[in-house]
């Protein structure tokens, strides 16, 4: 798979707390130049990016990020505002405390509630694999499938570890056929990116691949 084809799977990401408008503009210009799947940006920049770039760019954002323990009502409000401002894709973080407490009904209900809001827009569900047991990961595959989200996503990139090959393989095995996999966190080479895609990831959350392209 050539590098341009791999970049079509990339959510070109800038989620640092101190990201400036210049950083976001640079990200957007790179996304347009290298034809990435989207830009993944902080919610506070969605409207400005949409107003500046319009339909030239596909906007992805994050909800309940990065720790996931916001109440469902707060995540719902964030999601509605993101869509109003121009986002087409929402990456939500599950309530990991609920997962750890085995409160799976609440986890599924929350995902379903946000899916109802996103409608025909894409919802990706971050389960933060580095904090879960394999048993919990498998259960989350079932829950995300049942809740109707389009994607299950490995990581925020802000916890103890990012995506691993084994996690993507496991998720692809246990998630429903109608659910895609997004790998994120620590993807730093085209070799790794290609391996993630081969193992079943449809999207990759990273900013490093574009940086590599710019220095080729």
Q: What is the Cα–Cα distance from 171 to 180, expressed in whole angstroms?
A: 9
pLDDT tens digits along 18-75: 999 999 999 999 999 999 999 999 999 999 999 999 999 999 999 999 999 999 999 9
Q: Which domain holds residue 92?
A: 3-214
CB 98 within 8 A of CB 108: no
Q: Rounded mean pLDDT of the chain?
A: 97
Would residue 153 show up in a list of annotated catalytic residues for this protein?
yes
pTM: 0.98
pLDDT tens digits along 1-22: 999 999 999 999 999 999 999 9
Structural tokens at position 167: 């996690």
CATH of the domain at 8: 3.20.20.70
Degrees, nearest 5: CA angle 156-87-43? 55
Residue 35 CA to its chain's centroid (Å)? 18
Q: Assign 19 to helix, strand or coil.
A: coil
Q: Which of 11, 85, 91, 98 is catalytic?
A: 91
Number of domains in the chain: 1
Q: Which of 85, 153, 167, 180 is catalytic?
A: 153
Degrees, nearest 5: CA angle 85-83-7? 95
């Amino acid at each position: 798979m050539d590098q341009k084809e791999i970049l079509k799977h990339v959510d070109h990401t800038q989620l640092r707390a101190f990201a400036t408008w210049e950083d976001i503009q640079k990200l957007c210009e790179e996304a347009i130049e290298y034809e990435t799947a989207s830009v993944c940006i902080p919610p506070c920049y969605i409207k400005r990016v949409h107003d500046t770039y319009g339909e030239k760019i596909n906007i992805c954002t994050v909800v309940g990020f990065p720790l996931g323990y916001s109440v469902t009502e707060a995540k719902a409000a964030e999601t509605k505002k993101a869509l109003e401002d121009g986002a087409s894709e929402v990456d939500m973080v599950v309530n990991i405390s609920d997962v750890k407490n085995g409160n799976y009904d609440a986890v599924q209900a929350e995902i379903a509630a946000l899916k109802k809001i996103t409608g025909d827009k894409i919802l990706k569900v971050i389960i933060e694999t580095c904090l879960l047991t394999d048993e919990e990961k498998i259960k989350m595959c079932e829950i995300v499938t049942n809740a109707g989200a389009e994607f299950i996503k490995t990581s925020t990139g802000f916890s103890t570890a990012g995506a691993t090959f084994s996690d993507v393989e496991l998720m692809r095995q246990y998630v429903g056929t109608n659910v895609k996999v997004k790998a994120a966190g620590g993807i730093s080479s085209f070799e790794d990116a290609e391996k993630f895609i081969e193992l079943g990831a449809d999207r990759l959350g990273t900013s490093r691949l574009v940086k590599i392209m710019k220095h080729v």
